[in-house]
Amino acid sequence: MGVIELTVVIIFILGYLAITLEHNLKIDKLVPALLMMGAAWAVVAVSHLPVFEIISEINETTGKLEGKLESNELESILIHHFGKTCEILIFLIGAMTIVEIIDYFDGFSTIKKFIKTNKKRKLLWIVAILAFILSAIIDNLTATIVLITILRKLVTSKEDRLWFTGMIIITANAGGAWSPIGDVTTTMLWMGEKVTTLHLIEYLILPSLACMVVPTFIASYLPAFKGEFEAPISDEKTNPYGARMLYIGLLLIVAVPVFKTLTHLPPYMGMMLSLGIFTIFAEYFSNRTFSLADNESHHSPVHRALGRIEMPSLLFFLGILMTVAALESLGMIFKFGEYVVAGIGTNPFILILGGASAIVDNVPLVAASMGMFPNMGIDAPEWHLIAYAAGTGGSMLIIGSAAGVVAMGMEKISFFWYLKKIAWLALVGYIAGIGVFYLMHL
């Protein structure tokens, strides 16, 4: 490795360190992500470093899939990686907009109607199952926000709510792992044509279910989930179109993988089609709502939803993915993958990756792994193990997943409280899922 290549690596390490310490530095993580993206590619361009694209092809002698580095022009490589990154970002924008429109019509309040109990243990199982299912459809981060919001209307005790929130993090991350639209990293693997929808569900539904059921079963016998709670009396008004918009929105999101399977078009095309259809319902129902009101001015639910999208998160993904692309274009990640396979093997590395995702963001870890193993074909068991490990391993620390970080902010959960009370349950669930995965592939 030359001095210039080492410079790019140092830029990545410093940038990622700043992202990890964002709470200490009081700087949003998108700032170092964008800085290291620009700096890394600037060093590559100014130094005229050779850039490569990983090409996978069948070896004529052995008949096996092999990856190799093919030299190309910088602009061509940059456009290639930017295009792949933008596919993910456009997909996320579509999904976020649909979710925000559902929230505009107060659609998620419909879920509250399914919770009719005052027993803590029963509420735990209801919340866990809802988190597992919802996160597979609207992603684990959004599912966590929705369920914590509902939980606030049901459980008044702060201490009780912390325990429920901790379990939501575990079960939402477990639910997001087996769905192509349940977690950003799983979406990356799906859109990168590493996994297919049906095989992802086939390989991971049982391990993910074990990751949800085992810790929930254990937690149901803990003192925190014994006894009853008293829900406050609610007199809030609901939108008459909320339930319909919830069901239509969820159905259109679920239809995206089906659209890809039928047309073989990139997933973002299906998501844009679903968004277009959904906006028709949104505009129609909002016009009917406001026509019944005397003193309210019309505001497009689509415009409002687009204004509420998490742009900082999208820019963070852009910075991270394009920085990893710079390292990949220099051939570093590909070569590192060869060293890993030769040294400790693929599966042990993936298990370490799952543990590492509890400390550092799983997006760059998965992005890097996609460039490390070009010899693995689509739907290889290792890709599914990566999806599971990266998706659920982050539950072991509250800072290890987007769901954990947002829950930490919403309920002011202490890092050490989570480490002491919840982390061991997440570890048990993670190990249970790994065990089921290997039993399925004996």
Phi/psi of residue 193, nearest 5 degrees? 60, 40
- Residue 13: strand, helix, or coil: helix
Closest C-alpha among 342, 321, 289, 365 to residue 105: 289
pTM of the model as a whole: 0.82
Q: What is the pLDDT of residue 335?
A: 79
Q: What is the pLDDT along the chain (442 residues), one digit of tens a residue?
A: 678 888 998 998 898 888 777 777 888 888 998 999 999 999 999 988 888 877 666 565 655 556 666 777 888 889 988 998 898 889 889 988 998 899 888 888 888 877 888 889 999 999 999 999 999 998 888 899 889 988 888 888 888 899 999 999 999 999 999 999 898 889 989 988 899 999 999 999 999 999 999 999 999 999 999 988 876 666 667 778 888 999 999 999 999 999 988 998 989 999 999 999 999 999 888 876 555 444 444 567 888 888 888 888 888 889 888 988 888 888 887 777 778 778 888 888 888 888 888 877 788 788 888 888 877 888 999 999 999 999 999 899 887 888 888 888 788 888 889 999 999 999 999 999 999 999 998 6
Q: What is the 3-state secondary structure (H, E, C) of 26-77?
A: CCCCHHHHHHHHHHHHHHHHHCCCCEEEEEEEECCCCCCEEEEEEEECHHHH
Q: At what angle do helices 332-343 and 362-372 cross, to 10 degrees?
A: 80
Q: Which residues contact 137 (CB under 8 A, 6 or more apart)?
A: 179, 181, 182, 250, 253, 254
- Inter-residue contact 191 to 91 (CB < 8 Å): yes
CA atoms within 13 A on the CB side of 163: 22
Q: What is the pLDDT of residue 277?
A: 95
**How is 69-109 classified by DSSP, letter by letter?**
EEEE-HHHHHHHHHHHHHHHHHHHHHHHHHHHHHHHTTTTH
Q: At what angle do helices 423-440 and 381-393 cross, to 10 degrees?
A: 170
How remote is the C-alpha of 285 from its chain's centroid?
Answer: 30
The DSSP secondary-structure symbol of 119 reads: B
Q: Which residues contact 257 (CB under 8 A, 6 or more apart)?
A: 180, 181, 190, 197, 267, 270
- Residue 358: strand, helix, or coil: coil
Q: What is the pLDDT of residue 297?
A: 46
- Specify burial of residue 402 (Cβ count, 10 A radius: 0-12, 13-18, 19+): buried
Q: What is the pLDDT of residue 299?
A: 65
Q: What is the pLDDT of residue 369?
A: 85
Phi/psi of residue 37, nearest 5 degrees? -60, -55
- Inter-residue contact 397 to 424 (CB < 8 Å): no
> Hey, what's the torsion of the CAs at 376, 253, 317, 143, to 10 degrees?
-110
Q: At what angle do helices 402-411 and 140-154 cross, to 10 degrees?
A: 30
- Residue 220: strand, helix, or coil: coil
Angle at 259 between CA 258 and CA 261, to 5 degrees: 65
- State how far the Cα of 34 lies from the Cα of 203, in Å rounded to an integer: 35
